[in-house]
Chain A
């Protein structure tokens, strides 16, 4: 498809386990973003990739969170030793990266539930 895709769509895990969330951006989009959306809240910025580099990781909540991007395409967000407060929808977005308006296109999200 032409849009941003994310997998899995839903993930239920036990406290203390590690999880990996995947994002496939729109082909040709050099910029990629991860956000977290808690129930009833807006989008919380986590990390920004330009190509395979992450010039801004300032939104990652703790060292349990990490992300990588390869081939200027797929990105994986990893959460180690999950905690209940990690439960949220994790959204990925991509953009052309060279536009002055930074119009971002979002995937459907991964709903993470930590029991």
Chain B
């Protein structure tokens, strides 16, 4: 069974601060996705990373896939209150249709 562990589980910061959340596994994934979920809504895809060592940037968000494709990180620069939400990572394994989700990091950015 493939498991994804996310850390920290909860994070509360002030607007303007930087932060990093982590997604770790002992399994290799063919690709890894990051989603953000706001209360009462479904997760929204932010990015997909597929190559070991890959770095993708989406405005103030930087995503990295580990060289061995077992882990990933999400770094947010100068967080804004609009970044508040649950950040989920999800990995695709051998059966590409099936995503394994982590439990998420609940981020609160305070004004």
User: Which residues of A are in contact with B by a Cβ distance under 8 Å?
Assistant: 4, 31, 33, 35, 40-45, 48, 50, 56, 91, 93, 95, 97, 100-109
Beyond contacts A42-B103, A95-B97: 10 other A-B pairs, Cβ-Cβ < 8 A, are: A42-B4, A43-B101, A45-B100, A48-B97, A56-B98, A102-B97, A102-B99, A104-B45, A104-B99, A108-B40
How distant is the Cα of A102 from the Cα of B96 in the complex, in angstroms?
7
- Number of chain B residues whose Cβ lies closer than 8 Å to a Cβ of chain A: 26
Q: Is the CB of A101 within 8 A of B98?
A: no
Which 10 A-B residue pairings sit nearest by Cβ, starting from the closest? Answer: A106-B42, A42-B103, A43-B101, A42-B101, A101-B48, A106-B43, A101-B31, A102-B96, A108-B42, A107-B42
How many A-B contacts are there with CB distance less than 8 Å? 66
**Cα distance, A100 to B42, chains bound together (Å):** 22
- Using known A-B contacts A91-B42, A105-B45, A108-B40, determine if residue A48 contacts B98 with beta carbons closer than 8 Å: yes
Query: In the complex, A91 Cα to B35 Cα: how many Å?
Result: 14
How far is it, in angstroms, between the C-alpha of A102 and the C-alpha of B97 when the chains are bound? Answer: 6
Tell me, in angstroms, the Cα distance from A27 to B40 when the chains sit together: 23
- Known contacts A48-B98, A104-B99; A43/B31 CB under 8 A: no
